[in-house]
Amino acid sequence: MLLAINANNTNVKFAVYDGEKPLGDWRIKTEAGRTADQYVVWLNQLMTMQGLRLADIDAAIIATVVPQSLFHLNMLCEAHLKTKPLVVGDPGVKLGIEVKMDIPSSTVGADRLANAVAGHLTYRKPLVVVDFGTATTFDVVDGEGNYIGGAIAPGIVLSVEILHSATAMLPRIVVERPGRVIGKSTTEAMQSGIFWGYVGLIEGMVKRIGEEFGGSLDVVATGGLAPLFHGQTPVITHLDPDITMRGLVEIYRRNRG
Protein backbone atom coordinates (compact mmCIF):
# COMPACT_ATOMS: atom_id res chain seq x y z
CA MET A 1 0.00 0.00 0.00
CA LEU A 2 1.07 3.57 -0.72
CA LEU A 3 0.98 6.34 1.88
CA ALA A 4 0.56 9.77 0.28
CA ILE A 5 1.29 12.80 2.47
CA ASN A 6 0.45 16.40 1.62
CA ALA A 7 1.67 18.92 4.20
CA ASN A 8 0.39 22.45 3.72
CA ASN A 9 0.39 25.45 6.00
CA THR A 10 -2.86 24.52 7.74
CA ASN A 11 -3.13 20.71 7.75
CA VAL A 12 -1.16 17.60 6.94
CA LYS A 13 -3.26 15.10 5.00
CA PHE A 14 -2.42 11.40 4.95
CA ALA A 15 -4.09 8.99 2.52
CA VAL A 16 -3.56 5.27 1.94
CA TYR A 17 -3.97 3.73 -1.50
CA ASP A 18 -4.05 0.21 -2.86
CA GLY A 19 -2.92 0.98 -6.40
CA GLU A 20 -5.19 3.87 -7.36
CA LYS A 21 -7.95 2.84 -4.94
CA PRO A 22 -8.21 5.10 -1.86
CA LEU A 23 -8.63 3.16 1.38
CA GLY A 24 -8.71 6.01 3.89
CA ASP A 25 -7.57 9.55 4.57
CA TRP A 26 -6.97 11.64 7.67
CA ARG A 27 -5.87 15.17 8.58
CA ILE A 28 -3.95 16.69 11.45
CA LYS A 29 -3.13 20.34 12.12
CA THR A 30 0.26 21.37 10.79
CA GLU A 31 2.85 21.83 13.52
CA ALA A 32 6.40 22.05 12.22
CA GLY A 33 7.85 20.48 15.35
CA ARG A 34 5.55 17.45 15.46
CA THR A 35 7.82 14.41 15.66
CA ALA A 36 7.78 11.17 13.72
CA ASP A 37 6.85 9.33 16.94
CA GLN A 38 3.81 11.58 17.41
CA TYR A 39 2.74 11.11 13.79
CA VAL A 40 2.99 7.31 13.93
CA VAL A 41 0.96 6.95 17.14
CA TRP A 42 -1.82 9.16 15.74
CA LEU A 43 -1.80 7.51 12.30
CA ASN A 44 -1.74 3.99 13.69
CA GLN A 45 -4.83 4.63 15.82
CA LEU A 46 -6.85 6.03 12.91
CA MET A 47 -5.77 3.33 10.47
CA THR A 48 -6.65 0.60 12.98
CA MET A 49 -10.13 2.06 13.33
CA GLN A 50 -10.62 1.50 9.59
CA GLY A 51 -9.19 -2.00 9.60
CA LEU A 52 -5.86 -0.97 8.06
CA ARG A 53 -2.35 -1.80 9.28
CA LEU A 54 0.80 0.30 9.26
CA ALA A 55 2.73 -2.87 8.47
CA ASP A 56 1.01 -3.09 5.07
CA ILE A 57 2.44 0.26 3.92
CA ASP A 58 5.43 -0.43 1.69
CA ALA A 59 5.74 2.87 -0.21
CA ALA A 60 5.32 6.59 0.46
CA ILE A 61 5.34 9.95 -1.28
CA ILE A 62 5.51 13.38 0.35
CA ALA A 63 4.55 16.84 -0.87
CA THR A 64 5.16 19.68 1.54
CA VAL A 65 5.24 23.46 1.49
CA VAL A 66 6.44 23.47 5.11
CA PRO A 67 10.17 22.66 4.94
CA GLN A 68 10.45 22.29 8.73
CA SER A 69 8.01 19.34 8.61
CA LEU A 70 9.93 17.38 6.01
CA PHE A 71 12.54 15.93 8.41
CA HIS A 72 9.88 14.47 10.72
CA LEU A 73 7.75 13.14 7.85
CA ASN A 74 10.84 11.51 6.34
CA MET A 75 11.61 9.94 9.70
CA LEU A 76 8.04 8.66 9.97
CA CYS A 77 8.47 6.82 6.67
CA GLU A 78 12.03 5.61 7.11
CA ALA A 79 12.13 4.75 10.84
CA HIS A 80 8.56 3.57 11.44
CA LEU A 81 7.33 2.39 8.03
CA LYS A 82 10.71 1.11 6.78
CA THR A 83 10.33 2.77 3.40
CA LYS A 84 12.19 5.66 1.78
CA PRO A 85 9.64 8.17 0.50
CA LEU A 86 9.65 10.01 -2.78
CA VAL A 87 9.64 13.76 -2.13
CA VAL A 88 8.03 15.97 -4.78
CA GLY A 89 10.52 18.66 -5.73
CA ASP A 90 13.63 16.52 -5.22
CA PRO A 91 15.85 16.61 -8.34
CA GLY A 92 15.43 12.93 -9.14
CA VAL A 93 11.63 12.88 -8.96
CA LYS A 94 10.01 12.96 -12.39
CA LEU A 95 6.68 14.75 -12.79
CA GLY A 96 6.01 13.69 -16.36
CA ILE A 97 5.15 17.29 -17.25
CA GLU A 98 7.19 20.35 -18.15
CA VAL A 99 7.29 23.22 -15.66
CA LYS A 100 7.51 26.37 -17.76
CA MET A 101 8.70 28.82 -15.15
CA ASP A 102 11.43 31.48 -15.13
CA ILE A 103 12.72 29.95 -11.89
CA PRO A 104 13.50 26.29 -11.05
CA SER A 105 10.49 24.02 -10.60
CA SER A 106 11.66 23.22 -7.05
CA THR A 107 10.45 26.67 -5.98
CA VAL A 108 6.87 25.92 -7.09
CA GLY A 109 4.71 24.48 -4.31
CA ALA A 110 4.69 20.68 -4.46
CA ASP A 111 0.91 20.61 -4.05
CA ARG A 112 0.52 22.92 -7.05
CA LEU A 113 2.61 20.57 -9.20
CA ALA A 114 0.58 17.58 -8.02
CA ASN A 115 -2.61 19.47 -8.94
CA ALA A 116 -1.26 20.04 -12.44
CA VAL A 117 -0.39 16.36 -12.90
CA ALA A 118 -3.79 15.11 -11.73
CA GLY A 119 -5.68 17.89 -13.51
CA HIS A 120 -4.31 16.95 -16.91
CA LEU A 121 -4.71 13.23 -16.22
CA THR A 122 -8.38 13.72 -15.31
CA TYR A 123 -9.62 16.44 -17.67
CA ARG A 124 -7.24 16.40 -20.68
CA LYS A 125 -7.77 20.07 -21.55
CA PRO A 126 -6.37 23.47 -20.57
CA LEU A 127 -7.19 24.20 -16.94
CA VAL A 128 -7.06 26.67 -14.12
CA VAL A 129 -6.90 24.86 -10.78
CA VAL A 130 -8.16 27.15 -8.01
CA ASP A 131 -7.05 25.85 -4.62
CA PHE A 132 -8.85 27.39 -1.63
CA GLY A 133 -6.18 26.80 0.99
CA THR A 134 -4.18 28.97 3.36
CA ALA A 135 -3.48 30.92 0.19
CA THR A 136 -5.89 30.99 -2.75
CA THR A 137 -3.83 29.79 -5.70
CA PHE A 138 -4.55 29.81 -9.41
CA ASP A 139 -2.49 27.28 -11.38
CA VAL A 140 -2.58 27.14 -15.16
CA VAL A 141 -2.10 23.89 -17.07
CA ASP A 142 -1.92 23.85 -20.87
CA GLY A 143 -3.47 21.28 -23.18
CA GLU A 144 -0.36 19.08 -23.05
CA GLY A 145 -0.42 19.01 -19.26
CA ASN A 146 2.47 21.41 -18.73
CA TYR A 147 2.47 23.76 -15.75
CA ILE A 148 2.82 27.28 -17.13
CA GLY A 149 2.43 29.44 -14.03
CA GLY A 150 -0.27 31.02 -11.95
CA ALA A 151 -1.17 33.51 -9.26
CA ILE A 152 -1.30 33.54 -5.46
CA ALA A 153 -3.75 35.56 -3.37
CA PRO A 154 -4.40 35.63 0.39
CA GLY A 155 -6.55 32.74 1.56
CA ILE A 156 -10.10 33.30 2.73
CA VAL A 157 -9.60 32.24 6.35
CA LEU A 158 -6.40 34.28 6.50
CA SER A 159 -8.29 37.34 5.26
CA VAL A 160 -10.99 36.85 7.88
CA GLU A 161 -8.40 36.54 10.65
CA ILE A 162 -6.59 39.69 9.50
CA LEU A 163 -9.87 41.65 9.45
CA HIS A 164 -10.54 40.55 13.01
CA SER A 165 -7.05 40.90 14.47
CA ALA A 166 -6.06 44.17 12.76
CA THR A 167 -9.23 46.11 13.60
CA ALA A 168 -10.66 47.21 16.92
CA MET A 169 -14.34 46.43 16.37
CA LEU A 170 -14.70 43.83 13.61
CA PRO A 171 -15.61 40.38 14.97
CA ARG A 172 -14.32 36.99 13.88
CA ILE A 173 -16.92 35.57 11.49
CA VAL A 174 -17.89 32.24 9.98
CA VAL A 175 -17.30 32.17 6.24
CA GLU A 176 -20.61 31.44 4.54
CA ARG A 177 -22.79 32.68 1.69
CA PRO A 178 -24.79 35.68 2.98
CA GLY A 179 -28.46 36.04 2.16
CA ARG A 180 -27.85 39.43 0.49
CA VAL A 181 -24.99 41.51 -0.82
CA ILE A 182 -25.88 44.69 1.09
CA GLY A 183 -25.25 43.69 4.68
CA LYS A 184 -27.59 45.04 7.35
CA SER A 185 -25.18 44.32 10.21
CA THR A 186 -21.43 44.31 10.65
CA THR A 187 -21.33 40.51 10.47
CA GLU A 188 -23.48 40.44 7.30
CA ALA A 189 -21.33 43.14 5.72
CA MET A 190 -18.15 41.20 6.46
CA GLN A 191 -19.63 37.95 5.15
CA SER A 192 -20.72 39.71 1.98
CA GLY A 193 -17.32 41.31 1.46
CA ILE A 194 -15.48 38.04 1.99
CA PHE A 195 -17.82 35.75 0.04
CA TRP A 196 -18.77 37.95 -2.90
CA GLY A 197 -15.34 39.57 -2.89
CA TYR A 198 -13.75 36.18 -3.47
CA VAL A 199 -16.35 35.30 -6.12
CA GLY A 200 -15.32 38.52 -7.87
CA LEU A 201 -11.65 37.59 -7.44
CA ILE A 202 -12.22 34.17 -9.00
CA GLU A 203 -14.23 35.52 -11.92
CA GLY A 204 -11.84 38.39 -12.58
CA MET A 205 -8.70 36.27 -12.36
CA VAL A 206 -10.09 33.50 -14.57
CA LYS A 207 -11.13 36.08 -17.17
CA ARG A 208 -7.69 37.71 -17.20
CA ILE A 209 -5.89 34.36 -17.23
CA GLY A 210 -7.98 33.24 -20.21
CA GLU A 211 -7.23 36.44 -22.10
CA GLU A 212 -3.50 36.09 -21.48
CA PHE A 213 -3.53 32.36 -22.18
CA GLY A 214 -5.33 32.94 -25.46
CA GLY A 215 -8.11 30.40 -25.14
CA SER A 216 -10.82 28.95 -22.94
CA LEU A 217 -9.95 26.96 -19.84
CA ASP A 218 -11.94 24.71 -17.56
CA VAL A 219 -11.78 25.76 -13.91
CA VAL A 220 -11.28 23.13 -11.22
CA ALA A 221 -11.94 24.10 -7.59
CA THR A 222 -10.26 22.25 -4.73
CA GLY A 223 -9.33 22.88 -1.10
CA GLY A 224 -11.33 23.11 2.10
CA LEU A 225 -13.65 25.98 1.13
CA ALA A 226 -14.10 24.99 -2.52
CA PRO A 227 -17.59 23.48 -1.94
CA LEU A 228 -18.80 26.85 -0.64
CA PHE A 229 -18.03 28.51 -3.98
CA HIS A 230 -18.90 25.67 -6.35
CA GLY A 231 -22.26 26.46 -7.91
CA GLN A 232 -22.09 30.14 -6.94
CA THR A 233 -20.28 31.26 -10.09
CA PRO A 234 -20.50 29.78 -13.59
CA VAL A 235 -16.74 30.00 -14.12
CA ILE A 236 -16.10 27.02 -11.79
CA THR A 237 -16.72 23.95 -13.96
CA HIS A 238 -15.50 21.15 -11.66
CA LEU A 239 -15.27 20.48 -7.92
CA ASP A 240 -12.40 18.07 -7.22
CA PRO A 241 -11.46 17.76 -3.52
CA ASP A 242 -9.02 14.88 -4.07
CA ILE A 243 -7.01 16.26 -6.99
CA THR A 244 -3.79 16.79 -5.02
CA MET A 245 -3.68 13.29 -3.59
CA ARG A 246 -4.45 11.74 -6.99
CA GLY A 247 -1.58 13.77 -8.36
CA LEU A 248 0.75 12.33 -5.74
CA VAL A 249 -0.36 8.79 -6.57
CA GLU A 250 0.29 9.43 -10.25
CA ILE A 251 3.72 10.98 -9.60
CA TYR A 252 4.62 7.91 -7.55
CA ARG A 253 3.47 5.65 -10.40
CA ARG A 254 5.57 7.59 -12.92
CA ASN A 255 8.67 7.12 -10.79
CA ARG A 256 8.23 3.67 -9.28
CA GLY A 257 5.26 2.14 -11.10
Q: Is 99 annotated as a binding residue?
A: no
- 111 among known catalytic residues: yes
Residue 27 buriedness (CB in 10 A; 0-12 / 13-18 / 19+): middle
The annotation status of 187 as a binding-site residue, yes or no, is no
Is 7 within any annotated ligand binding site?
Answer: yes
Quick one: DSSP state of residue 184?
A: S
Strand order in the sheet with 11-18: 21-29, 11-18, 2-7, 59-64, 86-87
> Residue 226 annotated as binding?
no
Q: Is 222 annotated as a binding residue?
A: no
What is the C-alpha to C-alpha distance for residues 189 and 217, in angstroms, rounded to an integer? 32
Residue 125 marked as a ligand binder: no
Annotated ligand binding at 44? The verdict is no
The DSSP bridge pattern shows strands 147-154 and 238-239 to be unpaired
The answer to whether the annotation marks 131 as part of a ligand binding site is yes
Q: Which entry of 56, 102, 111, 139 is annotated as an active-site residue?
A: 111
Question: Helix crossing, 186-213 with 156-165: angle to 10°?
Answer: 140
- Tell me the binding residues for K(+): 131
- Tell me the binding residues for substrate: 109-112, 186
Known catalytic residues are 111
- Tell me the binding residues for ATP: 6-13, 134
